[in-house]
Structures are given as C-alpha cells and as structure tokens.
Structure 1
Amino acid sequence: MSALRKMLNLPEKKPKGGEEGKAAPESGHDTEPDEHAAQRTARAAVGWAEEEESSSRSFARRAGRVVIWCVIGLAAFTGVRTWVFPAKTPPPVSQSDPQAEARKDDVPTEQAQQVAARFARSYMNLNSADRDARAKELEGDLAKGIDPKLGWDGSGMQLVAQTIPGAVTQTKPHRARVSVDVRVSVTTTKSGRQQTTSGWRALEVPVAQVGDRVVVTGEPALVGMPTAVSYNAPAGADADSTLSVATRDVVKDFLNAWADGSQDQASAPGADIQPLGSGLSLDSLDSWVADVGSGERRTGTAVVRWALAGAQLQQTYQITLTKVSAGGASRWQVDAVTAKTA
C-alpha cells in the first residue's frame, strides 16, 4: 500500500494512538517467546522511520501518476463524447460485379432481337408492285435520316414466311449487331410457267440503343448460313430380344390408336400423351427393339413410318413401357413417347 500511496501523492499513514505501547496479553494466555516480544518493543520505540527516496523512484512515482491520470482523463473524455456524439453505423460496403459493370452499356438482348426480326421481315419482303409499303414498314425501326430503300432498286418479288432472331453481338457501348434467319419464297417465270422456291437466308442487322428504344442504324448484310458438322453418336443399349418380341404388338396397337386420337385407351393409366392430330395414319412399324434392363419400367426404340399428305415419313421414337397389373394378371402398356436422342 505504501508504494501506491506514493504514486498517487497521498500522505503517509500515521499510527493510531495506543498502538505504540500496546500491552502484552494477560496472564493465563499463551505468550510469545521473549525474543519476539523484544523485537516488537523495539519497533514500537522507534515508530515510523522515514526512508530517503532516490531520484529514480521519485521519477517512476511521478510518471506513474501521470499515466494513471491520463488514462482516467481519456476514459472520461471518450465516454462523454460518445454520449453527445454517438458513433454512426458505417454504410454497407457494396461489392461491385465486374461482369455487371461491363454489361451495363449492352443493348438489351430481347428488345434487340424483336426489333431486328421485325425489321428483317420487312427488309426481305420485295414487291415491285408496292414499293411504298416496304419503305413505310422500315421507317418505324430505322433511325431518322436513313433512306428506307436501303439499297433496293425497286424491282423483283420475294416473300418472307418466317424470321428467327439469333445471337446479339455487342460491338460498342449501346451498339450491337443481331443475327436473323429468314425463310423466303421466290417466284420466277420460265417458259411462261411460274416456279416458287423457298430457302433460308442469314442476315445481320446493326442496331443501337437510343434512350429506352432500340433502332436499326444502317443497311443489314446477308451472311452465310451455318454448315453441317460431324457428330459421333454414342453406342446404343443392348437389345432384349425376348421382351422385344413379347411387346411388339403392344407398341403397334398403341401407334394405331395414337394416330386415330384414341391413345388414352391404349396407353398405361396416368400416362400423359397428347394426340398427333388429323391427317396422319400408321403405315408400318419398321422396327421395335427393347433395351436390356430390369424392373417393371423399360424403354426401347421404335422406327415408325407415317402416311401423311400423300407421302410416307419415317421417324424414330423412344418408347417407355410399364407393367400394369389387374385381377391377378399383368401386361405391358405404353407410358411415354419421345423423340429418340442419340
């Protein structure tokens, strides 16, 4: 306690009255050895002896007082400051998405495809007997100041049957080009007889975003159509010859019912198979192969020849069979029909 009092610059504690010559315990009690009593008497006679403080201890004591008062003052200041000026919650840190930042100047894909497909239809429709109709349609999607003829000399005849918008390639901020596939029909006359041919054309349409609109900024360009590529189909499943023979008539009866629109009667309970529509009949079931497997649900491949529009059209299906039990008997029925995927 003496060291702490010195650090806080407090006066030394004085002995209480009567303590200097405190009497020895009364007789009848245990007494201390003579040498202990002598030592206590000597200390009482001397009293509080002052010890001269060294300069290093004096400096340490003063420095300690300064540190303690600084800590007390700092605690008091910060406490009062937080009462008057409470700490503000920092705003949430927003994490930016680099890809989103890069896309913010992109032309909207869906809007660009819609505008480009509509424009391509009007652009590829050519009718020398009504030139103004084409120009009026094109003006609705063209930027102002562009000639709506767009390089057409005003002759010829071509009709558009269908347009399919494709990829939107962003070229510059708020600018892009859109690929559009166009199905056109061209009528020509040879030896006094008219002949119509149809085919696909590929078109690229330049567009730009102006405010909340997408407009065509110039002449489109005809480009090449994609060509065929090689594809190695994976090996098919092994055939279950026994099940193939046992279920061939089941599959054929279902196909006839499907063409007639009565597929619900020939399919398994709960099957959801939509009708094919009128004008179609089964010419033949060219092949039916059930895949190797187990259980009460099996798949197989059917090669079917349909008769429609005075022609025959061969198609390949994947057919799913399920075993249905009733009255102690069971049989296979068609549960699903989809296109065969390699």
Structure 2
Amino acid sequence: MSALRKMLNLPPKEPKGGEEENAASGDVSVGTPLPESEKGRTPSRAPAALGWAEEEESSGRSAVRKAGRVAIWLVIGLAAFTGVRTWIFPAKPPAPIEQADPQAEARKNNVPEAEAQQVAARFARSYLTWNAADPDARAKELEADLAKGIDPKLGWNGAGVQLVAQTIPGTVTQVGGKRARVRVDVRVSVVTGSGNKTRTATSWRGLEVPVAQGKGRVVVTGQPAMVGMPTAAEYKAPDVPEADSQLSGLTRETVADFLKSWAAGDADQAAAPGADIQPLGSGLRLDSLDTWVVDAGSGDKRTGTATVRWKLGGAQIQQTYQITLTKVSASSASRWQVEAVTAKTA
C-alpha cells in the first residue's frame, strides 16, 4: 500500500483480473493429481502466485500519516471559516489616503487678506495724517491698530501739516508665521505757507504696512515703509478693424440723438426696445460727437466707435465709447437703434 493512500486512509488497491486468474491457476496446478501418463515424471514447478501482501506500518510512518491528515482538515476548516466570516462580516474597503497639499499647509500660516487690507488701509490713513497743533489725535488713532507696547508716534517729530484724501489697499505678501506685508497707495495733501500764501499740493505715496495675526484680530507690528509707485508700461493695441463708411454716415445722427437723450436722462426714448442702459446722472451735457465709425461687417447687429466730448464741471472732457447698434423692424420699415454702450476696449 502506498504511503499516500495510507495517509488519506483509503482502502487497499483491488488486484487486477489477470492477477486473480494467475493466482487461481497456480493453486489448481498444485492441488490436482497428475494423469497416468505423467506419473513417474518430476512435475514442473509452477510459478508462485502474485498478490497484495500486508505490510506492517512503522510508528514513524503512522505519525506522519496522522499529522498530514490533521493538516489537511485544518486547511479545509480554515477555508470554510474564512468564507463564512466574509459572508457575515464583509471586508471593509481601505480608507482613502489623503494626499498632503503643501500649499494648503502653508495657507494655514497666512494672515487673512481681507482683514489685513482693511487694517492696513485704516492705519495708513492715520499714519500719514498729522497736524502739529494736535499731535495726540494721530497717536490715539494709531493705537487702535498697533500691537500693544509699540510707541504710537512711529518716528514722527511732531511738526508740519498733512492730510490724507484716499487710501487704496493692494497686494498682501505673506511671509509665513501668520505675518504679512500690505501694499497701500495713499493720496496725500501737503499744506505749505500761511495766510494768503497757503498752498496745497497733492500726490500719491506708496506704503508697505507690516501686519500679523494677533490674539483675535490682525494688528500692525511696527513702522511702515515708503515704497515706489508703479510707472507706465508699454502696450501694443490690436490693429483697427476696417470701417463701413456708408453705414457710419447713415447712423451718425442716430448715435448723436441717443447721446443727447442719455445725458438728459431719457436714454429709453432713443435706445432699442429691451435695451438696459443706465442713466449718466445730472450735471453732464453733450458738447459734440467728434467721430463715429462703424466696423465692417454684416447682419442686423453691428458695432462702432464713438469719440464723444462732454461738458462737465465747467470743463470739456473727451471719451471713447463702443456702441452696439441693432436693426429694429416695424411693419415694412426698419431703422438702426442703440442697443448697448460701453467703454472702448483697445
């Protein structure tokens, strides 16, 4: 018996048919008497019968067989238990791995931009306003936005007179650690002389204000610094489109009438039906329509450029508009009317 059959506790292998016949024939030849003609001769030796022989199993081989059987049943049991457990308690999908965002981590140390701009603009107005006749007023205003313990004079020697007309907060430069610098453009008016010789000169000043996130709010952490103002930059305008001279001449009066009505607050009367054009307000009057050019094109909607001269505040000022015309039809007649008016984009 093979070791594998013994390990699996299988029955012995059945002998084949030929083996049984050989065994039987061997037995018959041994037990059957010889005929008379064969007496006196020495009988030939019949071959030994073949068959299964029992073999004693050693204790070591028996232990291996039992251990193998136990191992096989353990594997089968584990597979069955695992399958049932997954039916009752299905495996949970792994939690998604959160990717770290370095920029998001850095933003946690930023100063809130809107609050920083508000504080810096208010501080800049107080900082660049001074009057030697009332020095305490400036210090009191500055203390409201300065971090505690900083001298509110901030380097002013207590002389002169200067006023601030306007402040425009700009870029916030984050420097980490909940600190930042805020750019503020300030329109200042400097008063010089006295009596009949008093003069006021206005100009723009650039100021950078250091701020930080304090306890509960943004505060100014020290003296600001004057910085330069932007200078002019080059720009190449796109080529001017070709003009439709015929339509320009046909619609010039239409555009001029609209501009007069617009300045008078009656734009709805001269504009196309459905147009949404807000009034200009009082104090403005059309002086002239200097130029009107319709761009080349086709269709019932066209655009053109108008150079307009307004009268305002005792002066004249020229401005350039982009005007959209639409063709309005009624019965068998049609005409061009203004649908929209905006600043000209060069």
Q: TM-score, normalised by structure 2?
A: 0.81
* 2:15 corresponds to 1:11: no
Per mean C-alpha deviation after superposition, the further-off stretch among 306-315 and 66-75 is 66-75
* One-letter amino acid of the structure 2 residue matched with residue 197 of structure 1: A
2:87 and 2:301 map into 1 onto residues whose CA distance is: 75
Secondary structure at the aligned position of 2:290 is classed as strand
May I ask how many residue pairs the two structures share in their alignment?
A: 316
Q: Which residue of 1 aligns with 2:263?
A: 259
Per the TM alignment, residue 137 of structure 1 is displaced from its structure 2 partner at its CA by 0.8
Q: What per-residue deviation string (whole Å, max 9, x for no partner) do you get for residues 149-172 of structure 1?
A: 111111211111111100111123
Q: Which residue of 2 aligns with 1:127?
A: 131
* 2:244 corresponds to 1:233: no
2:105 maps to which of 73, 77, 101 = 101
1:43 and 1:119 map into 2 onto residues whose CA distance is: 121
* One-letter amino acid of the structure 1 residue matched with residue 302 of structure 2: R
* One-letter amino acid of the structure 2 residue matched with residue 211 of structure 1: K
Secondary structure at the aligned position of 1:230 is classed as coil
Per the TM alignment, residue 70 of structure 1 is displaced from its structure 2 partner at its CA by 4.1
Change (3 A) 1:268 1:68: same
Change (3 A) 1:126 1:43: farther
* 2:164 corresponds to 1:160: yes
* 2:320 corresponds to 1:306: no
Of all paired residues, the percent bearing the same amino acid is 70
Secondary structure at the aligned position of 1:192 is classed as helix
Secondary structure at the aligned position of 2:193 is classed as strand
1:264 and 1:287 map into 2 onto residues whose CA distance is: 23
Secondary structure at the aligned position of 2:335 is classed as strand
- Contact 2:121–2:169 (CA<8 Å) still a contact in 1? yes
2:124 and 2:199 map into 1 onto residues whose CA distance is: 24
* One-letter amino acid of the structure 1 residue matched with residue 249 of structure 2: V
* One-letter amino acid of the structure 1 residue matched with residue 52 of structure 2: E
Per the TM alignment, residue 132 of structure 1 is displaced from its structure 2 partner at its CA by 1.1
1:7 and 1:251 map into 2 onto residues whose CA distance is: 108
- Contact 2:139–2:152 (CA<8 Å) still a contact in 1? yes
* 2:307 corresponds to 1:297: no
Change (3 A) 1:9 1:211: farther
Q: Pick the structure with greater CA Rg.
A: 2
Per the TM alignment, residue 82 of structure 1 is displaced from its structure 2 partner at its CA by 6.5
Q: What per-residue deviation string (whole Å, max 9, x for no partner) do you get for residues 154-200 of structure 1?
A: 12111111111001111231111110001111222278322222221
Secondary structure at the aligned position of 2:303 is classed as strand
2:321 maps to which of 317, 322, 328 = 317
1:262 and 1:51 map into 2 onto residues whose CA distance is: 126
Per the TM alignment, residue 256 of structure 1 is displaced from its structure 2 partner at its CA by 0.4
Change (3 A) 1:86 1:286: closer
* 2:147 corresponds to 1:143: yes
Q: Which residues in structure 2 correspond to 1:276-291 (within 5 Å)?
A: 276-291=280-295
1:116 and 1:196 map into 2 onto residues whose CA distance is: 25
Per the TM alignment, residue 3 of structure 1 is displaced from its structure 2 partner at its CA by 10
* One-letter amino acid of the structure 2 residue matched with residue 210 of structure 1: G
Q: Which residues in structure 2 correspond to 1:162-177 (within 5 Å)?
A: 162-177=166-181
- Contact 2:323–2:341 (CA<8 Å) still a contact in 1? yes
Change (3 A) 1:269 1:8: same
1:237 and 1:52 map into 2 onto residues whose CA distance is: 113
1:266 and 1:297 map into 2 onto residues whose CA distance is: 17
Q: Which residue of 2 aligns with 1:204?
A: 208
1:50 and 1:237 map into 2 onto residues whose CA distance is: 111
1:180 and 1:292 map into 2 onto residues whose CA distance is: 45
- Contact 2:106–2:176 (CA<8 Å) still a contact in 1? no
Q: What per-residue deviation string (whole Å, max 9, x for no partner) do you get for residues 207-232 of structure 1?
A: 11123311101111111101101111
Structure 1 stretches of 5 or more lacking a match? 16-37
* One-letter amino acid of the structure 1 residue matched with residue 326 of structure 2: T
Q: CA RMSD in A?
A: 3.3
2:335 and 2:90 map into 1 onto residues whose CA distance is: 80
